[in-house]
A and B are shown apart, each in its own frame.
Chain A
Amino acid sequence: MRFLYYDRVTGIEKGKAIVGVKAFPLSEEFFRGHFSRKALVPGVIFIEAMAQLLGWLIIYSHDFRLSAIMSLIQDVELPPALEPGFTAEIRGEIITTTKRDSLGKAEVYIEGEKIASMERIIYSHFHRIEPEELKRRFEYYSGMRA
């Protein structure tokens, strides 16, 4: 299993917003155990998808000179019982960002209908990173040029 909860970045605007997509096939590893009689997408996976995409937006917005780690999430609504076989669109936006930390919010949609939302997510920034390595990973993961 690769712990990546987006398949592609479809739009990015520096310092502002990011949009990405993620498919939820029955072959996802987390269905081994969640659950044996019925496959339900664990709600926390949507938190991870929103957090990963927004994290990249922060890194991209600071020109790959820092990395971001989630330190607080607040007011998150999640779908409790979604079955696989759909593609979700994840939209994240930065509310504020400084060298030290960032505040953002995000939403998840399936065919235009909102199924999850996160009102507040705070990231702490890390500066001991390798910019070229981060840039290379962004290009591989997002399908975009840095």
Chain B
Amino acid sequence: MRYLLVDQITEFKEGESIRGIKNVAMTEDFLEFHFPRNPVMPGVMVLEALVQIGGWLEAASSDFRNWMVIRKVTRCNYYGFAFPGDQLELEVQRTGEALYRGTALVKGKRKVKAEFEGEIIPLEEIEDVEEQRRFFRLLMRDIGL
């Protein structure tokens, strides 16, 4: 499994907000044990998808100098499951310095709502910056085709 929980970025507003997509496939590794014979995307993986897209928001808003990792969850509500075959619509807004509000929906219906706090870390310490830029363009479908 590659720990990448964002498949596409559909909207990016510098320093403000970001929207994207995570497709839940039956082939996901986590579905085997979550739960046996009842596959649903684990709630923390939905939260992780929101955190990762928040990381992309910080990276693309800082000319790829920054990344964000989670350090606090103020509140996270789970209203319903994301099943294999569902497409999760991810939305994250920056509400302050390293503060975020995120929502994950399926067909417009809210499944998860989260308020969390991040820690901003230098991107160059954790990833190859040029590779991340290229990957962001790929997620934005800006591939020159």
What does DSSP make chain A's interface, helix, strand, loop or mixed? mixed
A74 touches B75 (CB 8 A): yes
| Given A51-B44, A78-B71, A80-B70, A72:B3 Cβ within 8 A | no
Interface segment, B10-18, B99-107, B122-130? B122-130
Is B109 part of the binding interface, using a Cβ–Cβ cutoff of 8 Å?
A: no
Which one of B42, B118, B121 lies within 8 Å of A3 (CB-CB)? Answer: B42
Question: Which size bracket describes the interface of A in this complex?
Answer: 35 or more
B145 CB, min distance to chain A CBs, angstroms: 25
What does DSSP make chain B's interface, helix, strand, loop or mixed? mixed
Residue of B nearest to A33 (CB): B3
How far is B32's CA from A4's CA once the two chains are assembled, in angstroms? 10
B99 CB, min distance to chain A CBs, angstroms: 14
Report chain B residues within 8 Å CB of A35.
67, 126-127
Is A26 part of the binding interface, using a Cβ–Cβ cutoff of 8 Å?
A: no
Report chain B residues within 8 Å CB of A77.
71-72
Which one of A2, A29, A70, A72 lies within 8 Å of B33 (CB-CB)? Answer: A2
**Could you tell me which residues of chain B, from 76 to 122, have a CB within 8 Å of some CB in chain A?**
76-78, 118-119, 121
Report chain B residues within 8 Å CB of A2.
32-33
Residue of A nearest to B37 (CB): A133
Is A23 part of the binding interface, using a Cβ–Cβ cutoff of 8 Å?
A: no
How far is B34's CA from A34's CA once the two chains are assembled, in angstroms? 21
**Could you tell me which residues of chain A, from 71 to 123, have a CB within 8 Å of some CB in chain B?**
71-81
Report chain B residues within 8 Å CB of A48.
42, 44
How far is B30's CA from A33's CA once the two chains are assembled, in angstroms? 16
| Given A1-B30, A32-B2, A76:B72 Cβ within 8 A | yes
| Given A70-B43, A72-B77, A29:B69 Cβ within 8 A | no
Report chain A residues within 8 Å CB of B51.
42-44
By a beta-carbon cutoff of 8 Å, the part of chain B in contact with chain A is 1-4, 29-30, 32-34, 36, 42-45, 47-48, 51, 67, 69-78, 118-119, 121, 124-128, 131
Known A-B contacts: A37-B125, A43-B70, A81-B119. Give 17 more (CB < 8 A).
A1-B29, A3-B42, A29-B29, A32-B1, A32-B3, A33-B2, A35-B127, A36-B126, A38-B125, A44-B51, A47-B73, A48-B44, A70-B43, A71-B78, A73-B76, A75-B74, A81-B121
